[in-house]
Amino acid sequence: MKNEKVIAIGKRLQDCRNVITLGLKINFSDYSKEEQKKIISGQTIYYPTFFYADILNSAGIPTFPSYNNYKYAQDKIKQTALFQILKIPHPKTKIFYAFKKSRILEIFQYPFIAKIPRGSAMGRGVYLIKNRDDLEQYLNLTKIAYIQDYLPIKRDIRVVIIGKKAAIAYFRTANDCNFKTNLSAGGEVSFKDIPNDAIRFAENAAKKCGFNDAGIDVIEYKKKYYILEANIKYGKQGFKAAGIDYVRLMEGKIDSGEI
């Protein structure tokens, strides 16, 4: 049980009663002497931001989320390679750097999924490619083509891992006008009958990858689970829909030492 307030740099936990949020200062010397002392004390620093995550990791200072979370955030290329190395089921995916349309079509048949591989989130930068015109339009958007098999499902399961366990899990169902299940794209939420084995699958995948604060997107296709991606900067809409106070939840996890 933690009695003293913990230190955070990023603003994710700024409303938590048991967190002191220092904010991001690029010049470390701009922090007060007391703040500097708190950061380098060796205690866990919460939400260190992209800027300080690798710096604190190099200095041997633990962080939450883990450094792995930051290394793979919004980088679908690295995530795909990681899933493949760890043998975590993932739809067939290929990256084409010096790509040619003919090479893509030698490997994939319409329809297939094309994504902007870095920096996209909340369903943005994801395209269902049905024909040559769709492909041409996509290729005009990116120099790196991220192409993935399209598995015709109408819903996926978002499992949010905080610490070592799932904090929440829910179905996201695409509406009739959109193939995307993202809530920001109009997907609908359901908390009913979430399969326990899907939650365990997500927990195991997160553990293998070293992710301890991530929204793991899972689909079931032909009685097999696949991970689509890990959303490190996941939204809080699911918590709100479930009636869960995210701030109180995180306060409890900090107090208990779970994170």
Residue 99: the pLDDT is 62
Q: Where are the domain boundaries for CATH 3.30.1490.20 in the chain?
A: 92-149
- Cβ within 8 Å of residue 231, ≥6 positions away: 121, 214, 215, 216, 217
pLDDT in tens, 192-216: 999 999 999 999 999 999 999 999 9
Q: Which residues pair with 115 in a beta bridge?
A: 126, 146
Confidence of residue 182 (pLDDT cuts 50, 70, 90): low
CA distance 53 to 48: 5
Percent of the chain with pLDDT over 90: 85
- Are the CB atoms for 139 and 145 separated by under 8 Å? yes
Please state, in angstroms and as integers, the Cα–Cα distance from residue 201 to each residue in 165, 170, 172, following that order: 11, 14, 17
Q: Convert the pLDDT of each residue in 55-111 to its tens digit.
A: 999 999 999 999 999 999 989 999 999 999 999 999 999 999 866 777 999 999 999
Q: How confident is the model at residue 174 (pLDDT cuts 50, 70, 90)?
A: confident
CATH 3.30.470.20 in the chain, residue ranges: 152-256
Q: What is the CATH number of domain 152-256?
A: 3.30.470.20
- Cβ(45)–Cβ(62) below 8 Å: yes
The number of residues in the chain equals 259
Largest interatomic CA distance in the chain: 61
What's residue 97's pLDDT?
84
Answer whether the bond into residue 89 is a cis peptide, omega within 30°.
Answer: no
**Distant-in-sequence, close-in-space partners of 188: CB < 8 Å, separation ≥ 6:** 172, 173, 175
Find the mean pLDDT for residues 30-42: 96
CA distance 23 to 31: 9
The pLDDT value recorded for residue 175 is 72
**pLDDT at residue 121, rounded to an integer:** 63
Architecture of domain 92-149: 2-Layer Sandwich (3.30)
pTM recorded for the entire structure? 0.90
CA angle 172, 170, 174 (to 5 degrees): 5
pLDDT tens for each residue of 225-241: 999 999 999 999 999 99
Mind spelling out the 3-state secondary structure of the chain?
A: CCCCCEEECCCCCCCCCCEEECCCCCCHHHCCHHHHHHHCCCCCEECCHHHHHHHHHHCCCCEECCHHHHHHCCEHHHHHHHHHHCCCCCCCEEEECCCCHHHHHHHCCCCEEEECCECCCCCCCEEEECCHHHHHHHHCCCCCEEEEECCCCCEEEEEEEECCEEEEEEEEECCCCCCCCCHHHCCEEECCCCCHHHHHHHHHHHHHHCCCEEEEEEEEECCEEEEEEEECCCCCHHHHHHCCCHHHHHHHHHHHCCC
